[in-house]
């Protein structure tokens, strides 16, 4: 795995990268405000490479997201934003006839994409929709969820209509804290009808394929704050990934990451995109990252040396645990290893 490579030099995570693909919530902003150091770091990253954004948030249009980024000091055009509703339209076009009536559960960001794709929007199951498309919006409530359940009461294998969810993120980082995401709303409909939705956004591959094609990326790097959607999706798509600890997932989640959701880079914040990334050496059950050393001793994870930076200790701890191929619950982990001094929303 590249995380354990033993190169003589210490390049930055951006070395050799031609396109940076960044998640938004928890990476660039939390709610309306920017995350500390994000704007300056992203601005610097785009000086020598293409920059695009990938978001599972279906509540806003690509144009409104671009406007928000521009207001934060990141001049952005609408085409530089790839949204989960856009990925959902790709799936929808494969499942229903052009011009079909679609029951939409969500807000403006989803409605606009459905209409741009040539479909007719309805909010009522009584209009015999050809499919249901569901995405997050703050205004989604019981009435919209109930209409989806009514339209989806017949399983698809028994002649029922398709159900496509833009994404199933359980949470959304906001300036006031962490709020429920679209996954909770999709789960409510699932609980009512016993069906599973087809998911268009992260961690599924289509949204990444759309971004790579749109920006002509040859050596992309994806920046995310969630292991279960951002990093898992990038890994599935064969894209190098960096987890930044400014959003949802915390050090304890990093240590417990499954093999398919382990990032190539672990960053405390986006300033570290521009810093040399230290070599991670694993020998005889001991992981070393600069001055930080963590050993595996049977069921115990032992801190041999904490080093000078908490991020290096976390990197060493993750490398030591990941190298065993064993699940985190098989270890006794010292509290210092999953301490959380990093910024979060």
What DSSP string runs through 204-250? SSHHHHHHHHHHT-SSEEEEES-IIIIIHHHHHTT-EEEEETTSS--
pLDDT at site 3: 55
Distance between first and last Cα of the chain: 30
- Report the C-alpha gap between 264 and 258 in whole angstroms: 13
- Positive or negative CA dihedral for 83, 233, 257, 255? negative
The pTM for the full model equals 0.86
All structural domains of the chain with their residue ranges: 10-56+202-275, 84-199, 278-339
User: What's the CATH number for 10-56+202-275?
Assistant: 3.40.50.1000
pLDDT at site 2: 52
- Report the C-alpha gap between 236 and 143 in whole angstroms: 36
Fold that domain 84-199 belongs to in CATH: Rossmann fold (3.40.50)
- Let me know if 25 is a catalytic residue: yes
**What dihedral angle (degrees, nearest 10) is formed by the CA atoms of 51, 88, 247, 182?**
160
pLDDT at site 7: 47
Report the residue count for the chain. 345
232: Cα within 13 Å, side-chain hemisphere: 15
Could you say which DSSP state residue 46 is in?
T
Sheet of strand 300-306, all strands in order from the earlier edge strand to the far edge: 280-283, 286-289, 292-297, 300-306
Tokens of 285: 């059950």
Helix (H) / strand (E) element for 280: namely: strand 280-283
pLDDT at site 175: 77
Question: Is the distance from CB of 100 to CB of 128 less than 8 angstroms?
Answer: no
Helix (H) / strand (E) element for 315: namely: helix 310-324
Tokens of 197: 């939705």
Among 207, 270, 267, which residue's Cα sits nearest to residue 233?
Answer: 207
pLDDT, one tens digit per residue, over 227-267 is 999 999 999 999 999 999 999 999 999 999 999 999 999 99
- Report the C-alpha gap between 181 and 196 in whole angstroms: 17
Measured CA distances, 216 to 19, 74, 78, 116, 193 (Å): 8, 21, 17, 23, 41
Active-site entry in 23, 225, 230, 269: 23
pLDDT at site 126: 98
Active-site entry in 15, 18, 25, 340: 25
pLDDT, one tens digit per residue, over 79-135 is 999 999 999 998 999 999 999 999 999 999 999 999 999 999 999 999 999 999 999
- Report the C-alpha gap between 311 and 253 in whole angstroms: 14
pLDDT at site 177: 87
At residue 18's C-alpha, the angle toward residues 91 and 219, to 5°, is 60
Question: Is the distance from CB of 148 to CB of 189 less than 8 angstroms?
Answer: yes
- Let me know if 23 is a catalytic residue: yes
Same fold, 10-56+202-275 and 84-199: yes
Residue segments in the chain with a per-residue pLDDT below the cut of 70: 1-8, 344-345
Among 204, 200, 201, 244, which residue's Cα sits nearest to residue 222?
Answer: 244
């Amino acid at each position: 795995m590249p995380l354990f490579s033993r190169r003589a030099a210490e390049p930055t995570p951006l070395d050799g990268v031609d396109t940076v693909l960044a998640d938004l919530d928890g990476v660039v902003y939390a709610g309306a405000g920017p995350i500390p150091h994000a704007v300056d770091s992203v601005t610097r990253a785009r000086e020598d490479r293409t920059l695009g954004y990938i978001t599972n948030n279906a509540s806003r249009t690509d144009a409104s997201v671009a406007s928000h980024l521009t207001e934060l000091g990141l001049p952005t055009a609408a085409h530089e934003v790839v949204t989960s509703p856009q990925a959902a339209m790709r799936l929808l076009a494969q499942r229903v006839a052009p011009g079909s009536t679609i029951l939409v559960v969500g807000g403006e960001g989803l409605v606009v994409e459905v209409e741009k794709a040539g479909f007719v929007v309805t909010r009522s199951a009584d209009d015999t929709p050809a499919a249901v498309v569901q995405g997050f919006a703050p205004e989604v409530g019981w009435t919209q969820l109930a209409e989806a359940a009514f339209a989806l009461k017949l399983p698809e294998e028994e002649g029922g209509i398709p159900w496509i969810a833009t994404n199933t993120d359980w949470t959304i980082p906001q300036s006031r804290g962490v709020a429920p995401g679209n996954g909770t709303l999709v789960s409510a409909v699932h609980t009512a009808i016993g069906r599973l939705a087809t998911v268009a956004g992260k961690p599924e591959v289509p949204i990444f394929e759309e971004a790579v094609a749109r920006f002509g990326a040859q050596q992309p790097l994806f920046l995310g704050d969630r292991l279960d959607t951002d990093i898992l999706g990038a890994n599935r798509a064969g894209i190098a990934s960096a987890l930044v600890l400014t959003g949802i997932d915390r050090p304890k989640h990093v240590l417990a990451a499954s093999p398919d959701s382990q990032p190539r880079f672990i960053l405390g914040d986006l300033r570290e995109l521009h810093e040399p990334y230290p070599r991670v050496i694993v020998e005889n059950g001991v992981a070393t990252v600069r001055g930080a050393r963590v050993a595996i001793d049977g069921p115990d994870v032992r801190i041999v040396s904490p080093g000078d930076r908490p991020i290096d200790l976390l990197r060493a701890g993750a490398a030591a645990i990941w190298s065993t191929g064993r699940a985190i619950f098989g270890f006794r982990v010292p509290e210092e290893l999953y301490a959380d001094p990093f910024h979060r929303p």
